[in-house]
Amino acid sequence: MTHDTPPDAFYDILRGVAALTGNSVVADLARLIADGMPQDLWIAFNHKQIGSKRWLVDALAQVMPQPQGPVFVLGAWYGVLAALLLADERLAIPAVVSVDLDPACAPVAERLNRRHVATGRFRALTADMTTLDFAAQEPAPGLVINTSCEHLADVPGWLSTLSSGTPLLLQSNDYVREPDHRSCVPSLEAFQAQAGLSETLFAGALPTKNYTRFMLIGRR
């Protein structure tokens, strides 16, 4: 790729890939790129990010394909996971609420998921997940997803803000070298102990080049 590649080239290539594969998320990404994207969007769409989210969607399709209420995705960044969840035909998800502390995220997430905004299946909320009143959400969450547990200072403290029995999907990792990571766990067993779920439907580890990602699905 040379420095003088016109921005339209990325749009055209992605539209071609969407036509080739029939993948609606690629078509939505092409549109997002066409009308302006944040500089770090490439990180949110890199193969490691997508790989860990595909792992999540595959596991959810196995053990909890029909959440009984909106799925709250916390630390949702640019709404990539919502796009994958809403596109997957194995899942029956009524709606996704994408929550991030950074106010720059919601407009991008809404543009990526614009088809679902139009049908009422997607909304983005700028909020702090540690102070969000989940009990006040109407309709009540059918599933709470947090793929950024390693970023929280107090994972058990945050979990105690959720009603017991809340369906949960949690990810964390052992990547202690990243300065923003405050609650890394050394193993899947340590993550299970940290989360203290009342019921576990899935527990797994996904080794990557620099670290291992852990995932739990169950109930608070």
Positions touching ligand SAM (CB under 6 A) are 49, 74-75, 77, 99-102, 105, 128-130, 147-148, 151
C-alpha distances in Å from residue 157, one per residue of 70, 142, 160, 187: 23, 21, 5, 20
Taking the complex as a whole, how short is the minimal distance between the CB of residue 194 and ligand SAM, in angstroms?
16
- Nearest residue (beta carbon) to ligand SAM: 75
User: Residue 74 is inside which H or E element, if any?
Assistant: strand 71-74
Taking the complex as a whole, how short is the minimal distance between the CB of residue 182 and ligand SAM, in angstroms?
10
Nearer to ligand SAM among residue 4 and residue 180 (C-beta): 180
Nearer to ligand SAM among residue 23 and residue 126 (C-beta): 126
Question: Is 126 strand, coil or helix?
Answer: strand
Taking the complex as a whole, how short is the minimal distance between the CB of residue 15 and ligand SAM, in angstroms?
26
Q: In 10 A of CB 122, how many CB atoms?
A: 24
Nearer to ligand SAM among residue 123 and residue 151 (C-beta): 151
Structure tokens at 63: 């053990």
Structure tokens at 2: 């040379």
Please tell me the total number of residues recorded for the chain in this structure. 220
Taking the complex as a whole, how short is the minimal distance between the CB of residue 101 and ligand SAM, in angstroms?
4
Identity of the residue numbered 76: A
Nearer to ligand SAM among residue 112 and residue 118 (C-beta): 112
